């Protein structure tokens, strides 16, 4: 058992992530960071939204923002409060077409929330309605030919990682890097984050 496909996929993903810094627009990144810091300074709330696996990444980002002391909420949770002018919504969707994410962003705009899109498609519906877009690369669609070996025979050289996997991994790494930068700018240490970590957890 050689696990050749596992090894090749691991190599593709690690190569993709290694290239990520050269694919990002750091002016876009800087603006996103400033929007988050400004909202916190103004005692406003940060909301996050994503669907499926992107939703899990949104929750992970929200957890870290909470550890940093932000007023942060996940759209769809029962304790999420009303949003209003001056708040920020971070909307995560590789395709920029995910129905629930686009709908949430539209409603957010109507009540004066600033929308930051994290997407691979700036020209998508989500990108077009957002106040700010951060481009995070990734493969969000599959070929019409879904069999891996058939694609190789036909010369269709697509990543092994299925569907939105590359975007999701890239978005996770990118947002964790944002957290690290926020720690630096806000003068927070790992001990500060640990102090806000959950003390009541489900066993």
pLDDT at 165: 87
Cα–Cα distance, 162 to 171 (Å, whole number): 15
Q: Which long-range contacts (CB under 8 A, 24 or more apart) does 176-180 make?
A: 176/64, 178/29, 178/32, 178/33, 178/36, 178/61, 179/61, 179/64, 179/65, 179/68
Beta carbons of 143 and 64 less than 8 angstroms apart: no
Show which residues are catalytic: 168
Q: Return all residues near 42 (Cβ < 8 A) that are at least 6 apart.
A: 86
β-sheet bridge partners, residue 119: 135
Q: What is the largest CA-CA distance in the chain?
A: 58
Domains of the chain and any CATH numbers:
23-194 (3.40.50.10490)
What is the pTM for the complete model shown?
A: 0.87
pLDDT at 69: 96
Q: Which long-range contacts (CB under 8 A, 24 or more apart) does 171-174 make?
A: 171/54, 171/57, 171/92, 171/94, 171/118, 171/136, 171/138, 172/57, 172/60, 173/17, 173/20, 174/20, 174/24, 174/118, 174/134, 174/136
pLDDT in tens, the chain (203 residues): 678 888 888 898 999 999 999 999 999 999 999 999 999 999 999 999 999 999 999 999 999 999 999 999 999 999 999 999 999 999 999 999 999 999 999 999 999 999 999 999 999 999 999 999 999 998 644 444 444 444 444 444 455 555 678 999 999 999 999 999 999 999 999 998 899 988 887 77
């Amino acid at each position: 058992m050689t696990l050749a496909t596992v090894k090749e996929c691991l190599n593709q993903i690690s190569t993709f992530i290694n290239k990520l810094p050269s694919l990002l627009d750091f002016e876009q990144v800087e603006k996103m960071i400033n929007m988050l810091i400004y909202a916190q300074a103004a005692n406003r709330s940060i909301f996050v939204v994503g669907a499926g696996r992107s939703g899990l990444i949104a929750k992970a980002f929200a957890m870290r923002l909470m550890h940093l002391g932000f007023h942060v909420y996940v759209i769809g949770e029962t304790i999420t409060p009303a949003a209003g002018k001056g708040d920020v919504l971070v909307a995560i969707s590789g395709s920029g077409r995910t129905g629930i994410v686009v709908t949430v962003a539209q409603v957010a705009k109507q009540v004066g929330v600033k929308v930051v899109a994290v997407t691979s498609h700036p020209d998508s519906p989500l990108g077009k309605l957002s106040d700010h877009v951060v481009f995070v690369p990734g493969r969000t669609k599959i070929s019409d030919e879904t069999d891996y070996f058939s694609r190789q025979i036909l010369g269709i050289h697509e990543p092994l990682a299925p569907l939105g996997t590359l975007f999701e991994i890239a978005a996770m790494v990118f947002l964790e890097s944002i957290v690290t930068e926020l720690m630096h700018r806000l003068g927070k240490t790992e001990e500060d984050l640990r102090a806000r970590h959950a003390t009541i957890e489900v066993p």
